[in-house]
Amino acid sequence: MAAHAEATSSFKLALIQLAVGSDKATNLSRAAEKVREAAQNGSKIVALPECFNSPYGTQYFKDYAEEVPAETGQPGPGAGESCKALSQVARECGVFLVGGSIPEVRKGKYYNTSMSFGPDGALLGVFRKVHLADVNIPGKLRFREPDVLSPGNKFLSFDTDWCKVGIGICYDLRFPELGSIYGLRGCKLLLYPGAFNTVTGPVHWELLIRGLAANNQLFVAGISSAQDLTASYHAWGHSMLCNPWGKVVVSADEKEGIVYGEVDLSEVDRVRSHIPVTAQKRWDLYSITDKTST
């Protein structure tokens, strides 16, 4: 097991841009291999992409769906195979692991769900995609997650040895209110497993990540699967980490790989002292309200 370091203001983050295929067992095995590689290279927080255990597409969600534990803590015998695999590799490597997302079935409904684990393998929390992709670009792209999926209605933030982390999934990037709520909760790092495509990705992926980072003055990472032009859905790739200044710290291309970025939390305080927009909010004129339970 990797040594669990004492808290400092800086740590290494790994974004795993996984090549996802049609065989779930192979996807889980390869994801675990990449988590081990990231841990061996000194990463303390590791993140996987959206739908890392299955092809991305409404036609696949039901076939690949699993149950997700209703309670936090060590997964019980009824947990799905993806949950068990993530818990095991997080514990083996001693890392905080954001398990991208998987298709979930719960009480007859289907969700796009992210599970996060601590270095002891315990489930820290679950985030079900709040904003479902419903896109119609004539002649280029038509995609409707609501045809199969139901939206989540809770947010997820959790503490690590370094900072609080907030979770969103893909299309949630387009709704800055979520990022603002996480900022108000005290998060200094936001992780968005995503699968932007080759139509919207070149224009919006980096733009949205950088904007979210700059507007909330915190670190934001987007974690994509690798691009496969033989698949029915063409992911954009280009996983990246942006700092509180809105600058891209590190970025991948479209191919499979691991992106490593140093998260220096002193940058959050430094940027906020230079441009103190948080203290300059006009709460007398507007508000951002978290209506969910924490």
How far is 193 from 221, CA to CA, in rounded Å?
8
Please confirm, yes or no, whether 187 is among the known catalytic residues: no
> 24, 44, 129, 188: which one is catalytic?
129
Please confirm, yes or no, whether 170 is among the known catalytic residues: yes
DSSP class per residue in 154-198: --EEEE-SS-EEEE--GGGGG-HHHHHHHHHTTEEEEEEEE--BT
How far is 266 from 9, CA to CA, in rounded Å?
6
Residue 222 is inside which H or E element, if any?
strand 219-224
> 24, 34, 44, 50: which one is catalytic?
50
Q: Are 34 and 16 in contact (CB under 8 A)?
A: yes
How many residues appear in the chain?
Answer: 294
Q: Are 1 and 92 in contact (CB under 8 A)?
A: yes
How far is 189 from 177, CA to CA, in rounded Å?
15
How far is 157 from 291, CA to CA, in rounded Å?
14
How far is 195 from 224, CA to CA, in rounded Å?
5
> 51, 93, 163, 170: which one is catalytic?
170
Please confirm, yes or no, whether 109 is among the known catalytic residues: no
Q: Give me the active site residues, please.
A: 50, 129, 170
